[in-house]
């Protein structure tokens, strides 16, 4: 029997991620040093701990940034480490982040997380009013009208998973 998640019905290509991959998306540049690897490991563990609890308690599978921050704050580490990780997580690009465990059985270290955030841009273009991934203070006036690049690149939008989740 094939089980189809409701979000999969209208999206022919669905990307499922591991908690580690999601942690790296939330903490850009995290592959480059030991301190960031520490943060990725803890954020990854937070995501999996939340998913496991939600799965076995039959609650909503949705995990947002606030839940991850709360879980990190509950972890056993110095307050300085907690503050550093939370500070790295709480960025404008991460505000709309949300994921959920999408497979019928929960397993640690598996690629079973689906990005489900609304993928909303954190800013608005001060010239045309379109959603923008570029801070208004960094926006320059376009010559005659706005182009996609004036509002942020596909890479900037991919932080939210809009290219893979199809939302």
Rounded distance between C-alpha atoms, residue 20 and residue 48, angstroms = 9
Residue 135 pLDDT: 77
Looking at residue 167, its pLDDT comes to 39
Q: Cβ atoms within 10 A of the Cβ of 3, count?
A: 8
Who has greater pLDDT, 152 or 78? 78
Supply the pLDDT for residue 66. Answer: 94
Mean pLDDT of 73-97: 92
- The string of pLDDT tens digits covering residues 7-62 is 555 545 678 999 999 999 899 765 555 668 899 999 999 999 999 999 999 888 88
User: Would you say 126 and 34 are in contact if contact means Cβ atoms under 8 Å apart?
Assistant: no
Mind listing the pLDDT tens digit for each residue in 115-156? 886 555 667 777 776 667 677 788 777 666 666 666 666 666
Q: Where are the domains of the chain?
A: 16-117, 119-159
The per-residue pLDDT for range 151-166, each reduced to its tens digit, is 666 666 555 544 444 4
Torsion of CA 106, 50, 12, 40, to 10 degrees: -110
DSSP string of the chain, one letter each residue: -----GGGTT-SS---B-HHHHHHHHSTTTTSSHHHHHHHHHHHHHHHHHHHHHHHTT---EEEHHHHHHHHHHSSS-HHHHHHHHHHH--GGGTT-EEEE-SSS--TT-S-EEE------SEE-TTT--EESS-GGG----SSS--GGGG--HHHHHTTTHHHH--
């Amino acid at each position: 029997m094939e089980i189809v998640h409701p979000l999969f019905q209208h999206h022919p290509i669905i990307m499922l991620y591991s908690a580690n991959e999601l942690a790296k998306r939330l903490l850009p540049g995290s592959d480059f040093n030991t301190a960031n690897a520490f943060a990725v490991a803890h954020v990854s563990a937070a995501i999996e701990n939340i998913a496991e609890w939600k799965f076995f308690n039959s609650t909503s599978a949705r995990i947002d940034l606030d839940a991850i921050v709360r879980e990190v704050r509950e972890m056993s580490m110095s307050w300085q480490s907690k503050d550093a990780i939370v500070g790295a997580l709480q960025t404008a690009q991460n505000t709309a982040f949300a994921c959920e465990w999408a497979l019928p059985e929960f397993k640690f270290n598996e690629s079973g997380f689906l990005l489900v955030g609304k993928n909303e841009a954190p800013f608005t273009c001060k010239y045309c009013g379109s959603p923008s991934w570029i801070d208004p203070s960094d926006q320059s006036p376009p010559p005659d009208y706005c182009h996609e690049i004036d509002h942020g690149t596909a890479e900037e939008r991919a932080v939210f998973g809009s290219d893979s989740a199809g939302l």
